Structure formats: structure tokens, C-alpha cells
Amino acid sequence: MSIMKKTLATAAMASLMLAQPAAAENVRIALVVKALGIGFFEAANEGAEEAAAELGDVEIIYTGPTSTTAEGQIEVINALIAQGVDAIAISANDPDAVAPALRRAMDRGITVISWDSGVAPEGRQMHLNPSSPELIGNTIIRLAADHLPDGGDVAILSATSTSTNQNIWIEEATKVLPDYEGINLVATVYGDDLADKSYREAQGLMSTYPDLRAIIAPTTVGILAASQAVADAGKIGEVNVTGLGLPSEMAGAVESGATLSFAIWNPIDLGYAATMISYNLLKGEATAEPGASISMGRIGEAVLDDNNEAAMADPFTYDASNIDEFKSIF
């Protein structure tokens, strides 16, 4: 080997040796979302990046399919296994369909949690709910009932029909429905967390049910699309759109009166908390088992129940009185 080549080789080795310890210390946490392009998940990613900056040795891989399918998520999971990431934190499009791929990830030593929309217990170590499912289910009905003192027909516009979180909330909402006298649930339809499909489903509800008084959309994509459909149909004041939305996306609907009030928890905090939990599990700082308490950093402790689930915080209600304060935050 020429002296020149030797020097280069030695320099390359030296730089490799210098680079290696830092690279080995960094852990890679993949935040797998239902689909790319959804504001709610982009806000969660902001929180994940905040946690990474606080922890110092974390790289966040924000990823997901282009539409809200389990098949798309399975491809993403398989690619993450091949890359050898340290943790996968997923909001699932289907609790069962993604479980085998996630099992394979866990068998290879990858830490797996679900957050927002859960995975069946065999496919994850723990699940972080944004809030208690009972509370969310009751909240979405109450939001509609608050503005219907004499009762009336309401319909639900959900995300996908296999979405774990929306399905649990709808189940809980249905349980408390008898407590709200005169509130009549006439239909549940699915917009798949796609703006155009949600818009068309909202239009369909208004034409099929002429006495409809509220559309309850427990999805940030659905509530925005429905509020636009109601405004475009000239039905502001007749059909109130409510459910779960982002203040930043719903400010216009509140201003126009298409939406009188809606709720949500802080999506930035949710992404932050999911990242902190993933980190503490993969570093062995905590074990996912019933009764365990896992630090969520500035949010507090996640205490696991018998199903290894925990809840982050209560949802907060937004209306014309407070939306301006929050619309620039998330």
C-alpha cells in the first residue's frame, strides 16, 4: 500500500473510531402514525422531537403509510425491523392486523408500544391512551347534547371502521347515550381519516337525515371536513359539527358557527409522552407490567392497569371563548 493510501486508510479508520461511540449511544425511536399528512400526528411528532432534544441521545423516525391502512403500516414496520430501530411507538389502523409484524419486532429485541390507537396486547408491551376511553365517549355525546336542549337526531362520522381508538370511543358513547334524553343516534359512517371521503360522508348524512341536528366526528380529519360540508350546504345553525379537533384547524369553523364547541387533549404532549415511555422501556428504566409506573418526563407518571394500559390526561373543551389562545399552539 502506498504511503498516501495508508494515510487515507488510517484517517478513515480514525474518523470511524471517533464517529462510532456517538452513533452507538444514539437510540432510534420510530413514531409510526396512522397516515402521513394528518395535523394531529404532526403535532405529536413535535412533542416527540421535544422529548428527543431533552433526552439528548435519541433520533426520532417519524413515519407511516400514505393512507390509513393496516397493510401500509405492516410494510412500514417490516422496514423498521430491517433497519434495526430500537423502539416502535405506533398509533394503529387495526388492533389485530399489525400485531404479528410487531411481535416479530419484539422477538428481535425492539421495544414496542402503542399510543393513541391501540394494538392488541400480544402485539405491544403497553398502550398509552390519550385519556380514559369512558371519558372521551361521554365527552363527544355531551358536546352534542349541550347544544340540543330539546334533543334531536345526531350521527357519528368516524375515521376507519377498524380504528381501535374511535371504535372504543363510539362503544363508550353508545353506552351513555340513554343518559341523554332525546338524543337520537341515527347513523355511524366512516370517512377513513381522508378529507374528501369524510366530506362526502358528511354530505350523505345531511341528505339522508333531513332532521339531523349534529354531526359528531371523533377524528380531527372528520370534524374539519364535516364543518366545511355543513358550511358549504348552508346549514350553519341547523347542523352543529362537534367531536375531537385541533384548535389550529377548527378556528375557522368556530368563527363561522359551523362548530359551537369541540374537545381534544394536547397532541404535542401525547407524542412527547409516548417517546419518553419508549425510551424508559428500551433503556430498562421501567418494565411494562401491571401496576408499573413509567416516567413520561414533564407530564408525570404513566401507571399501567391490568391490560398494561395507561391514560395521559383529560380532554379540554374549546369554543369561541378560548380558541384564539390555542390556535397557534396545536
Binding residues vs ligand RAM (CB under 6 A): 34, 38, 40, 91, 116-117, 159, 165, 193, 219-221, 244
In angstroms, give the least distance from the CB of 78 to ligand RAM.
22
- Upper half-sphere CA count for residue 39 (Cβ side, 13 Å): 20
In angstroms, give the least distance from the CB of 247 to ligand RAM.
13
Three-state secondary structure readout of the chain: CCHHHHHHHHHHHHHHHHHHHHHHHCEEEEEECCCCCCHHHHHHHHHHHHHHHHHCCEEEEEECCCCCCHHHHHHHHHHHHHHCCCEEEECCCCCCCCHHHHHHHHHCCCEEEEECCCCCHHHCCEEEECCCHHHHHHHHHHHHHCCCCCCEEEEEEECCCCCHHHHHHHHHHHHHHHHCCCEEEEEEEECCCCHHHHHHHHHHHHHHCCCEEEEEECCHHHHHHHHHHHHHCCCCCCCEEEEECCHHHHHHHHHHCCCCEEEECCHHHHHHHHHHHHHHHHCCCCCCCCCCEEECHHHCEEECCCCCEEECCCCEEEECCCHHHHCCCC
Query: Which residue number, 88 or 159, has a Cβ lying nearer to ligand RAM?
Result: 159
Place of cell 390526561: 313
In angstroms, give the least distance from the CB of 128 to ligand RAM.
12
Query: Which residue number, 76 or 159, has a Cβ lying nearer to ligand RAM?
Result: 159
Query: Which residue number, 153 or 192, has a Cβ lying nearer to ligand RAM?
Result: 192
Query: Which residue number, 152 or 191, has a Cβ lying nearer to ligand RAM?
Result: 191
In angstroms, give the least distance from the CB of 41 to ligand RAM.
7
Query: Which residue number, 27 or 258, has a Cβ lying nearer to ligand RAM?
Result: 258
For ligand RAM, which residue has the nearest CB?
A: 40
d(CA 284, CA 281): 5
Query: Which residue number, 244 or 299, has a Cβ lying nearer to ligand RAM?
Result: 244
In angstroms, give the least distance from the CB of 263 to ligand RAM.
9
In angstroms, give the least distance from the CB of 286 to ligand RAM.
24
In angstroms, give the least distance from the CB of 214 to ligand RAM.
17
Query: Which residue number, 81 or 190, has a Cβ lying nearer to ligand RAM?
Result: 190
In angstroms, give the least distance from the CB of 14 to ligand RAM.
48
For residue 153, what is its C-alpha cell? 337526531
Query: Which residue number, 164 or 280, has a Cβ lying nearer to ligand RAM?
Result: 164
